[in-house]
């Protein structure tokens, strides 16, 4: 990859071919920007890799769609960026424009989009301080009468030395018709914020999470895992609780693998029969390279029977998710009309967490009203600890459903907790990433929680009773 020296040296260039940038959606999901090839002619041409896309009008999907930035970007010597969409429309962003001087960013038969540098300011991002230009938009009809349009509220920002820091998508700017990346399904071209940069001379903020970083353990590390499987009819003897403790004893790193010696202990109780199973041994655990997982977030993985993309989320610790069926697409014979496939069974979003392994997640069987919860409740990594350690003695004595009653579940936000014959001292609410969302002190055998401000999803309740800890789940609708 090469860039002309004159263009590369200019200030306020949105992109360059020697850099990977990571942008965050409003919900915390991260998508990447990189370029496969750069051609040095009179202008620089940047070609971003495709995203999985869906057409709202037909429901067709394709893993061979354009990037959320469009088919390609042409950077002219004067700094003008031409974003060429999948339908060959062009959006013009003038990175060298002065404040208050408008230009036509987009025009078609329906309307005209004007752009203007609203302000220039010193701003901080990723620990970097730089001068930033903020560019706003205004929509007009062909007679140049102002129109109400969501793009009027959008702002993009370009830093002097480090590229774009705030963006919208240009694949079908400024519309929500035709094909769009799956990430854009829930909102009309949201603003994205820069959260990471990778370059030869600079690395700042969030970086791509790799397979070896997920399974990065050292001797002495320890992780405690809960696996709760439930079926509506316990007579099937399917419903069970398994508690697992993994202690890492030794590590050997090779070019294509990491080999661990691990002390594993687990106990399992089946609800219908009350049968208890116990396991304790030292095993060898081998982690091999996973090139598909190591792809940048948003880039498609195309297999013979499906295509999908790993989703990455801004969280502490960082996590990557294989949608596990929720966003998989399946070939139907044409490259431009793959379909989504819904099947019976447990379609779990498999979450992999930096330094804590995986997969973790929760799912429900489509027609049996049961499912699986798999999550960590405690870890020790070096001098850092989190959560409450598993108590193996409690598995013979307690049934989560009988001892602690949490209702209604699912809930619209107001939850009651009732523990007959015992006193609750505190309740901790965590999300599936293990982040604490709420802590509440309780001094009785019953209590209540107000989760109305929480977004819909599955949450974990850590209920404290004396020196015991009870874990259960609550579904917020």
Span 398-476: which CATH code? 2.60.40.3080
* pLDDT for residue 310 is more than 50: yes
| Average pLDDT, integer, range 33-48 | 82
* pLDDT for residue 303 is more than 60: yes
Q: 399 or 60: whose pLDDT is higher?
A: 60
* pLDDT for residue 126 is more than 50: yes
Predicted pLDDT of residue 90? 94
Q: Which CATH class is domain 211-393?
A: mainly beta
Round to whole Å and give the CA distance between 373 and 431: 12
Instruction: Give Cα 256 distance to the centre of its chain.
Output: 26
With bands split at pLDDT 50, 70 and 90, how would you rate the model's confidence at 469?
A: low
From the CB of residue 117, how many other CB atoms can be counted at a distance below 10 Å? 21
pTM (two decimals):
0.75
Quickly count helices (H) and strands (E) in the chain: 3, 38
With bands split at pLDDT 50, 70 and 90, how would you rate the model's confidence at 399?
A: very low
With bands split at pLDDT 50, 70 and 90, how would you rate the model's confidence at 189?
A: confident
Span of 126-140, 153-167, 337-351 with lowest mean pLDDT: 337-351
List the chain domain ranges.
5-205, 211-393, 398-476
Predicted pLDDT of residue 40? 65
- Grouping H, G, I as helix, E, B as strand and the rest as coil, residue 236 is helix
Predicted pLDDT of residue 389? 92
Predicted pLDDT of residue 475? 78
Predicted pLDDT of residue 65? 82
With bands split at pLDDT 50, 70 and 90, how would you rate the model's confidence at 8?
A: very low
Do the Cβ atoms of 82 and 94 come closer than 8 Å? Answer: no
Residues 352-369 have pLDDT tens digits of: 999 999 999 877 654 445
Give CA torsion, residues 408, 409, 414, 416, to 10 deg: 60
Percent of the chain clearing pLDDT 70 (strictly above) = 81
| Average pLDDT, integer, range 426-439 | 76
DSSP letter for each residue of 26-81 = TTSEEEEE--SEEEESSSEEEEPPP--EEETTT--EETT--BTTBSEEEE-TTSEE
For the ranges 39-53, 61-75, 381-395, the maximum mean pLDDT occurs at: 61-75
With bands split at pLDDT 50, 70 and 90, how would you rate the model's confidence at 397?
A: very low
Round to whole Å and give the CA distance between 25 and 87: 24
Which residues lie closer than 8 Å to 9 by C-beta, 6 or more apart?
none
Which residues lie closer than 8 Å to 125 by C-beta, 6 or more apart?
159, 162, 165, 194, 205
Predicted pLDDT of residue 1? 30
| Average pLDDT, integer, range 165-175 | 89
* pLDDT for residue 267 is more than 60: yes
| Average pLDDT, integer, range 168-192 | 72
* pLDDT for residue 169 is more than 70: yes
With bands split at pLDDT 50, 70 and 90, how would you rate the model's confidence at 28?
A: confident
């Amino acid at each position: 990859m090469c860039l002309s020296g004159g263009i590369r040296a200019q200030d306020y260039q949105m992109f360059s071919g020697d850099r990977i940038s990571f942008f965050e959606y409003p919900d915390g999901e991260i998508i990447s920007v990189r370029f496969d090839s750069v051609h040095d002619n009179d202008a620089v041409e940047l070609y971003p890799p495709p995203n999985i896309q869906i057409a709202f009008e037909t429901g067709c999907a394709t893993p061979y769609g354009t990037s959320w930035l469009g088919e390609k970007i042409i950077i002219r010597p004067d700094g003008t960026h031409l974003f060429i969409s999948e339908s060959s429309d062009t959006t013009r962003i003038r990175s060298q424009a002065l404040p208050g001087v408008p230009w036509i960013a987009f025009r078609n038969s329906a309307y005209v989009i004007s752009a203007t540098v609203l302000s220039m300011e010193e701003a901080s991002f990723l620990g970097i301080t730089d001068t930033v230009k903020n560019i706003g938009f205004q929509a007009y009809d062909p007679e140049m009468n102002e129109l109400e349009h969501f793009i009027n509220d959008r702002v993009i920002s370009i830093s002097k030395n480090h590229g774009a820091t705030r963006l919208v998508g240009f694949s079908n700017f400024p519309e929500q018709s035709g094909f769009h990346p799956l990430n854009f399904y829930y909102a009309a071209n949201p603003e994205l914020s820069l959260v990471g940069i990778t370059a030869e001379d600079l690395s700042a903020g969030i970086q791509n999470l790799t397979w070896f970083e997920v399974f990065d353990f050292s001797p002495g590390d320890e992780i405690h895992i809960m696996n709760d499987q439930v079926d509506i009819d316990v007579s099937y003897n399917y419903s069970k609780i398994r508690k697992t403790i993994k202690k890492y004893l030794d590590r050997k790193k090779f070019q294509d693998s990491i080999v661990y010696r691990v002390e594993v202990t687990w106990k399992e109780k089946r609800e219908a029969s009350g049968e208890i199973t116990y396991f304790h041994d030292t095993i060898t655990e081998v982690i091999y390279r996973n090139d598909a997982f190591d792809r940048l977030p948003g880039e498609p993985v195309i297999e013979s029977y499906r295509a999908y993309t790993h989703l990455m989320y801004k969280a502490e610790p960082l996590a990557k998710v294989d949608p596990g069926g929720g966003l998989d697409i399946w070939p139907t014979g044409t490259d431009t009309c793959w379909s989504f496939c819904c099947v019976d069974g447990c379609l779990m979003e498999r979450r992999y967490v930096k330094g804590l392994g995986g997969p973790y997640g929760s799912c429900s069987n489509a027609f049996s009203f049961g499912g699986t919860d798999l999550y960590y409740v405690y870890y020790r990594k070096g001098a850092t600890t989190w959560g409450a350690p598993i108590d193996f003695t409690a598995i013979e004595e307690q049934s989560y459903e009988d001892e602690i009653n949490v209702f209604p579940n699912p809930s619209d936000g107001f939850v009651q907790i009732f523990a007959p014959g015992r006193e609750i001292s505190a309740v901790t609410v965590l999300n599936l990433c293990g982040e604490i969302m709420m802590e509440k002190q309780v001094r009785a055998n019953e209590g209540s929680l107000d989760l109305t401000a929480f977004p819909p999803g599955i949450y974990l309740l850590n209920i404290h009773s004396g020196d015991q800890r009870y874990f259960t789940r609550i579904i917020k609708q």
